[in-house]
Structure 1
Amino acid sequence: MSNFLFVAAENDGIADCKAGGMGDVVRDVPREISRRGDKVHVVVPSYSRLHKDGVFKTSLKFQLRGTSYTAELYEVTPKKEFDNLTHYVIHHPEIEEGGIAHIYHDDPTEPFFNDFVKFMIFCTAVAEAIKMGAFGELDVVHMHDWHSSAVLFLKTYHPAYSSLKKMRYVYSIHNLAIQGIRPFYDNFASVHNWFPEIQLKHEELMDWRYQDCINLMAVGIRLADAVHTVSPSYKEDVMMPSRRPEFVGGESLEKDLQKANDEGRLHGILNASNYNNIREAEKGLLYRNTVKALFRWLQDESKKYKADFLAHTGEKIMEFVTERPKFIVSSVARLTEQKFYFFKRSPEAFEKMLKRLEKIDGIFMLLGTGDPDYEQLFRDMSYKHKNFIFTNGQSEDLIDSMYLETDLYFMPSLFEPCGISQMLAMRNGNPCLVHHTGGLKDTVTHMKTGFAFEGKTYNAQIKSMIKRFDEALTLWEKDKAAWKKIQSNAKKARFTWGKSVDGYYEKLYLL
């Protein structure tokens, strides 16, 4: 029996510990490993809240900033029990929750300041717990994104943690754009301030663009035994330099990733989707669930600034309760550059698509919150276009209804390490129209399981997006048999954790 430790900032295997797709992976992969009879421990920060109902396991004493720190390890109750799988959180008063999903901080004046502080304490506590044997004799430590890469820094450079060198270290990249860059010196959240006893090897740790800083994403890539991207096509993308906005690739780390690939350490393995215990909404409740969500948000103090808009959306939805549209296009996503750059830069392209949709008595439903500029863009669009329904909030019931009752799911991501939304839509037999990039390239096949647009330049991409949208709607109008075939192929497609974790064992874990 092998023994694994997963170290991450998020874990949707426990309640209230998810901000994005990383939380899903850290939930599902340990479950799959435990099903195979191996032992798994998952540890995340407590964010001063997740330890409250936990069972205290041990105190963790270590040195930081030249002073003594004591953190606490708690075992916590998961959403679902599995044999051989144990969930933990680490509590320390300085490991605080941030404003993003009660996990991350977002301080534009000094990026990563608060997150660096809490994740340094967390990673040092994890290193101490491994050293003490709190998780037993480990074979593999699997870390996720920059928040956990300091474990590699400690086992490589810190004399107190040289005993950690005997196990295998795997590093997964979920969001290459967020790299955890902090100064080496002269700042409270600098490496030297937190680890004054370590002689810093700048060349091995530095950011190529800001050479007086450490890049913790780069540390993960440079020091891990195996590096993992969450789809095969994204692996190819990140070894090329970014050419924004046409192409988002290695984000200044392409040389490190090429080197990892040359050394046989870089592997692209597709994330999967869950096909068991699907939380299903009842069919026919789409508009009711929209209205319910709008009424709930209207009572929320924090949403008062957009109360007029929520009421406007409610009024639009009521028309469709009696006059059902013939075709629904939908998108569910955080409103960011990654997800909707094409609409922000070319709103006229989006308007063309809405006009085309009008011709078949169709509507476009978008659900999401995020960047204030993107929220404003879509609110303005909703006032202008009768057939654009923008639900500016978050509701699980409504999201389930949208996945269930949509006709075409639209995902125009500028880049996509893997993507889960397209898998969830396909699971319900909904064809997707996607930008052919990263994980979307690995999951959606044009004219077989869905539709895809691409192009070498930005203008070519926009033209292709409008053209493919028109072709998809024309197919639905003129060739119902071909449309049904694509629906059926989408529903049959399977991206299972069983298959993905086979790849983990073979390429990442070497077990």
Structure 2
Amino acid sequence: MNNFLFVSAENDAIPDCKAGGMGDVVRDVPREISKRGDKVQVVVPSYSRLHHNATFRTNINFLLRGQTYIAELYEVAPKKEFNNVSHYVIHHPEIEEGGIAHIYHDDPEEPFYTDFIKYMIFCTAVAESIKMGAFGQLDVVHMHDWHSSALLFLKEYHPSYKDLIKMRYVYSIHNLAIQGIRPFYDNYASVGNWFPEVPLDFKVLQDPRYKDCINLMAVGIRLADAVHTVSPSYKEDVLLPSARPEFVGGESLEIDLQQADNEGRLFGILNASNYGNVREAEKGQLYRNTVKALFRWLQDESKKYKADFLAHTGEKIMEFVGNRPKFIVSSVARLTEQKFYFFKRSPEAFEKILERLRKIDGIFILLGTGDPDYEDFFREMSYKHKNFVFTNGQSEDLIDSMYLETNLYFMPSLFEPCGISQMLAMRNGNPCLVHHTGGLKDTVEPMKTGFAFDGKTYDIKIKNMIKSFDEALKVWENDKPKWKRIQNNAKKMRFTWDKSVDEYYRSLYLL
């Protein structure tokens, strides 16, 4: 039996520990590994809340900033039990709850300031736990994004953690654009402050652009035994330099990724979707679930500032209860540049889409929270356009209803390492309209399972986005058999974890 340790910032196998797709992967892959008879342990930070009602396992003593730190390891009950899968959290008062999904901090003045502190404490506590044998004899440590890559730094350079060299280290890149860049020295949230006893190898640790900073995403790429992007097309993208907004590629780390590829350490393996034990949504509940969610948000103190807008959305939805639209376009996503750059930069293109929808008695429903600028933009658009419903919050019931009852799922991501939403929509037989990039290229086939747009320049992309939207609506209006075929093809697509994890074993784990 092989023994795996997954180290991550998110884990959706336990309650309230997910902000994005990484949480899904860290939930699903251990389950698939356990089916092969191997053992998996997953450890995430407690964020000052996930250890409540958990089972205390041990204290962890380690040195940071020249001082002794004491953290606590707890075992947490998962949402669903699986043989040979255990879930842990590490608690320390300085590993604070964030504002983004109660996980990450947003530090606009000094990017990554608070997150750097909490993930340094977390990674050192994990290194000490491995050294203590808290997870038993490990064969593979699988780390996810920059939050966990400090483990590689400690294994490589810290005198106390030379023993960690024994097992194989795998590093998954979920979003290359978020890199965890902090100064080497002269700052509380700097490497020199937290590890004064470690001589720093600047050449291996530094950011390609900011020579006085560590880049923790780069550390993961440079020091892991295997590096993994979450789709084959995203692997191809990141080997090329970015030329925003036309193309988002290696984000200044393309040379490191090319080197990993030349050394046979870089692999593109598609994330998958869950097709069993799916939460069953009830058909016909979309508007009811929207109203329920709005009432709940209206009672939430933190949403008082947008009470007027929530009431406005409620009023709009009530009109559709008795007068149901003929066509529903939907999107569910965090409101960020990655997901909705095209709409925010070209409001007139978004308005053309809404106008085209209006002609067929259609509506566009968007659910999400995120960047305040994007929230403001979409609230403004909702006030202006009767057929744009912006549900500015989070609700699992409503999300399930949207995936179930939409006619066309819209995913105009600027870049997309893999994407899970398109798989969830297709699972319900809903065609998707996507930007032909990264994992969206690997999962949606134009005119077979959905629709896509692309283009050499930004202006051509925008033009083609409107054109593809029009083409999708024309198929629905004028060629019902073809629309049905696309729906059926989408529903038949299977992106399964057993296939992806087979590839993990072959290429990443070498087992």
List structure 1 runs of 4+ shifted beyond 3 angstroms. none
The residue number in structure 2 matching 1:267 is: 267
Question: How far off its partner does 1:257 sit?
Answer: 0.5
The residue number in structure 2 matching 1:449 is: 449
Q: Is residue 232 of structure 1 aligned with residue 232 of structure 2?
A: yes
The residue number in structure 1 matching 2:251 is: 251
Question: How far off its partner does 1:328 sit?
Answer: 0.7
Q: Is residue 152 of structure 1 aligned with residue 147 of structure 2?
A: no
The residue number in structure 2 matching 1:434 is: 434
The residue number in structure 2 matching 1:221 is: 221
Question: How far off its partner does 1:199 sit?
Answer: 1.0
Instruction: Give me the whole-angstrom Cα distance separating, in 2, the residues matched to 1:406 and 1:499.
Output: 28
Question: How far off its partner does 1:322 sit?
Answer: 1.3
- Give the match's secondary structure for 1:103: coil
The residue number in structure 2 matching 1:143 is: 143
Instruction: Give me the whole-angstrom Cα distance separating, in 2, the residues matched to 1:396 and 1:57.
Output: 32
Instruction: Give me the whole-angstrom Cα distance separating, in 2, the residues matched to 1:98 and 1:362.
Output: 38
Question: How far off its partner does 1:299 sit?
Answer: 2.1
Instruction: Give me the whole-angstrom Cα distance separating, in 1, the residues matched to 2:373 and 2:150.
Output: 34
Q: Is residue 349 of structure 1 aligned with residue 358 of structure 2?
A: no
Deviations 1:40-66 (A, max 9, x none): 111111112212222222221211111
- Give the match's secondary structure for 2:295: helix
Question: How far off its partner does 1:238 sit?
Answer: 0.7
- Give the match's secondary structure for 1:69: strand
The residue number in structure 1 matching 2:185 is: 185
Counterpart residue type for residue 506 of structure 2: E
- Give the match's secondary structure for 1:185: coil
Question: How far off its partner does 1:300 sit?
Answer: 2.0
- Give the match's secondary structure for 1:169: strand
Counterpart residue type for residue 195 of structure 2: F
Instruction: Give me the whole-angstrom Cα distance separating, in 2, the residues matched to 1:61 and 1:290.
Output: 48
Deviations 1:3-59 (A, max 9, x none): 100001111111111111111111110111011100111111111221222222222
Instruction: Give me the whole-angstrom Cα distance separating, in 1, the residues matched to 2:440 and 2:434.
Output: 7
Please show how residues 1-400 of structure 1 align to structure 2 within 5 Å.
1-400=1-400
Instruction: Give me the whole-angstrom Cα distance separating, in 2, the residues matched to 1:117 and 1:124.
Output: 11
Question: Which stretch has the larger CA shift, 317-326 or 477-486?
Answer: 317-326
Instruction: Give me the whole-angstrom Cα distance separating, in 1, the residues matched to 2:200 and 2:61.
Output: 23
Question: How far off its partner does 1:163 sit?
Answer: 1.0
Please show how residues 402-413 of structure 1 align to structure 2 within 5 Å.
402-413=402-413
Instruction: Give me the whole-angstrom Cα distance separating, in 2, the residues matched to 1:74 and 1:193.
Output: 28
Question: How far off its partner does 1:73 sit?
Answer: 1.3
- Give the match's secondary structure for 1:413: coil
Deviations 1:283-317 (A, max 9, x none): 11111111121222222222222222222222221
- Give the match's secondary structure for 2:182: strand
Instruction: Give me the whole-angstrom Cα distance separating, in 1, the residues matched to 2:398 and 2:324.
Output: 17
Question: Which stretch has the larger CA shift, 71-80 or 203-212?
Answer: 71-80
The residue number in structure 2 matching 1:468 is: 468
Instruction: Give me the whole-angstrom Cα distance separating, in 2, the residues matched to 1:414 and 1:460.
Output: 14
Counterpart residue type for residue 96 of structure 2: E
Counterpart residue type for residue 478 of structure 1: N
Deviations 1:90-148 (A, max 9, x none): 11121111111121111111221211111111111111111111111111000001111
Instruction: Give me the whole-angstrom Cα distance separating, in 1, the residues matched to 2:64 and 2:206.
Output: 21
Counterpart residue type for residue 369 of structure 1: T
Counterpart residue type for residue 331 of structure 2: S
- Give the match's secondary structure for 1:273: coil
Instruction: Give me the whole-angstrom Cα distance separating, in 1, the residues matched to 2:132 and 2:393.
Output: 45
Instruction: Give me the whole-angstrom Cα distance separating, in 2, the residues matched to 1:486 and 1:54.
Output: 47
Instruction: Give me the whole-angstrom Cα distance separating, in 1, the residues matched to 2:301 and 2:75.
Output: 35
Counterpart residue type for residue 413 of structure 2: S
Counterpart residue type for residue 141 of structure 1: V
Instruction: Give me the whole-angstrom Cα distance separating, in 1, the residues matched to 2:70 and 2:302.
Output: 37
5+ residue gaps, structure 1: none
Instruction: Give me the whole-angstrom Cα distance separating, in 2, the residues matched to 1:56 and 1:320.
Output: 51
Instruction: Give me the whole-angstrom Cα distance separating, in 2, the residues matched to 1:379 and 1:266.
Output: 42
Question: How far off its partner does 1:71 sit?
Answer: 1.4
Counterpart residue type for residue 182 of structure 1: R
Counterpart residue type for residue 189 of structure 1: A
Instruction: Give me the whole-angstrom Cα distance separating, in 2, the residues matched to 1:380 and 1:49.
Output: 35
- Give the match's secondary structure for 1:325: coil
Counterpart residue type for residue 488 of structure 1: N
- Give the match's secondary structure for 2:73: strand
- Give the match's secondary structure for 1:88: strand
Counterpart residue type for residue 191 of structure 2: V
The residue number in structure 2 matching 1:423 is: 423
Question: Which stretch has the larger CA shift, 163-172 or 187-196?
Answer: 187-196
Matched residue count: 511
CA RMSD of aligned residues (A): 1.0
Instruction: Give me the whole-angstrom Cα distance separating, in 2, the residues matched to 1:130 and 1:311.
Output: 51
Instruction: Give me the whole-angstrom Cα distance separating, in 1, the residues matched to 2:148 and 2:184.
Output: 18
- Give the match's secondary structure for 1:42: strand
- Give the match's secondary structure for 1:331: strand
Question: How far off its partner does 1:451 sit?
Answer: 0.3
- Give the match's secondary structure for 2:68: strand
Question: How far off its partner does 1:321 sit?
Answer: 1.1
The residue number in structure 1 matching 2:487 is: 487
